[in-house]
Structure 1
Amino acid sequence: MKTEYKRLKGSQSFRQRLLLATLSSTPIIIDDIRADETWPGLHNHEISLLRLFETVSDDCLVQINETGTKLKYKPGIIMGGTQHRPHDCGVSRSIAYFLEPLILLGLFAKKPLTITLKGITNDFKDPSVDTFKSTALPMLKRFGVPAEGLSLKIESRGVPPNGGGEVVLSLPVVQSLSAVNWTEEGFVKKIRGITFSTKVSAQFENSMIRAARGIFNPLLSDVHIFTDHRSGPQAGNSPGYGISLVAETTTGCLISADTAVSHARHEETAGLEDDSKKDLMPPEDVGRRIANILLGEIAQGGVVDSTHQGLLFLLCALCPQDFSKIRVGKLSQHGIETLRNIRDFLNLKFVIKPDPQTQSVLLKGMGYGMKNLSRKIS
């Protein structure tokens, strides 16, 4: 039987295309991947993501042409299981870049997944592993994923440029998710957070906490920000510091914001030696900035922050053939792209209704009816 391939172009939405192709068992060919750019073809983190998909699946087929501008991908069977060899995510993107597609893949595997990922735990580009642990994982429970067997352990921290972080992800398997009616964001009742520092003074953390509290305390009394100072092997290979904050509402919504400060990755300074030595943002400014960004996320309304819209839409799309109804703030670019990818791969469309009173957006959609066929019903 000849395989029918879905043809796509360009480098955008690479993670989601790979994920949705795998979950919907759709073989894909992607042409013109950065064909006209100085560095054509797939980037290191994208190749690493393909290797990760190969690790947790059986019989998946990956073919990349010599220039890396064309990919042929035929999904296999998602196996999961305990992976004894750590997966190196490299240092061009952080571990969270890999975690988002991995959790959705793992839920529909044959066996519960346990895997160690090495690389960067905190940077300014992707959500930190702390935010992932405090915000993305609890979101799964809303969709019926059991809390038992769901965990993310941060064994060591790693920031750019040289990484050195390590996390262990454990995921249970589900037979199917459950649709949600999740439209009430509630009021913020407490703020929790964590600061970290590697290979710098632990005082940096106190400065970030003081600055963030200076903004929150006039508004809210229940603010606790914990510290996680690492030294020795647990501090990874580069100096850095950062903060992850989460606001919890009266209806159990988690709204997050985070950042990390470290020296730039080598390709970002592209030969500007002096640039990599320049001073880092003072910790007080980091704390204040992220506190203000969090307030901005809360003000937008919605049951998740802008960073987590994509994950929320994917979870709704993978639900049984039943309606989910959700509320988000202003649609983010990533959120809009996610809705397009869901339409292209799963043939699903959400009804989108702006709510003029709150400036938020209501979405209603039918799930694809994703079932874990490999899991035995007890």
Structure 2
Amino acid sequence: MPGGGSIELGRIAGIRVGVDASWFLVLFLITWSLTSYYGQLFPGRDTIAFLLACISALLFFTSVLLHELGHALLARRNGIGILGVDLWLFGGIARFDREAPSAGVEFRVSAAGPLVTALIAAACFGAGALLTTPEEMLHATFLERVDVSELTAVLAYLAFVNALLLAFNLLPAFPLDGGRILRAAVWRLTGDRDRATRFAAGLGRLVGLALVAFGIARLVAGSLIGGAWLLFIGYFLYRAARDEALRARFGEPFAGLTVRDVMDHEPVAIPEPTPLDRAFEDFFLRYGWPWFPVIDAEGRLTGLVPRKAIDDVAHERRHELRVAEVMAKGGREAIEAISVPTDAPLERLLASSALVRLGAVMAVDEEGHLRGVVTTTALRRLLRRDGAALAT
């Protein structure tokens, strides 16, 4: 899934909106497919068909963005922090800084996105019905070839694709919205979030396998693109459900623990004004690590400096340059991607891409001061100590 490496497009209501590199691929594929579709509706008008395809593809992803913003805004209203919303290969994803605190909040946040999508589909269908007739709009919505205007054709496509998106998202397969709604219901009945997650994730794996089987059947039947797409989606859903089940099993033995309980309370960091020659000798040669966190004069985390950044500087110039001049920067989002609050629940670490990419994640307090470091080694040691065998 996309994370801190996405390209930022801007902010909506203070929420970061970005796109993953994979989004450009799916944007191209959808535009290419729609150009063919509109070319059949309006034969001999290739330029119009291409323009309608571009507009429809962008409006579709606008719908996806609104869907995810529905989740994000409801989550923020219920006290859950928002890391951002990203568009990627499979549509969109809203990233939160923690899990919902109750089954009720989980239900409301999960249902917000499908509700937005349902309203978009209804609005597009209603607007199209006003431009033509409800019967013709119904035929157009099912992508039948009927004599409608360009605007009506776009509205019909948006009504269709949002209805399809709604139906898919409401499948009772975690981590889809329908699976999250199911988890909220089971959570409310049992009072056990991890048990509810395992149940919903089990259904998610079954649905994923069913989609894989259906995709293989389509491939055998000769539908290469449709079959491959179903196969890909099914495999992704299966893997995502499996990972969520593992996340739930991780949370059971460590319920109540926070990042502070497992972090190294004496992190080694390089101050920004440190000359590169001193940083190389006192830190990289001494400890042998491939990177170090960088802090400002007040001890706030400001980024990372990899050894390569120093290796790329000529030896005779290293006394002239400071760490702050060669460190990896990227603003608040980059800092959030490599850090986690000290009081965050331990399960939050599983959502950290830095833990996989760097082998560690920085623990910071509310003011952004570096207070510790959590490494994969420390987590493995904790797992062995408590006998939590995730692979079994």
What TM-score does the superposition give when structure 2 sets the normalisation length? 0.29
What TM-score does the superposition give when structure 1 sets the normalisation length? 0.29
Question: Per chain length, whose mean CA-contact separation is higher, i.e. which structure has more relative contact order (CA < 8 Å, sep 6+)?
Answer: 1
Higher helix share: 2
Higher strand share: 1
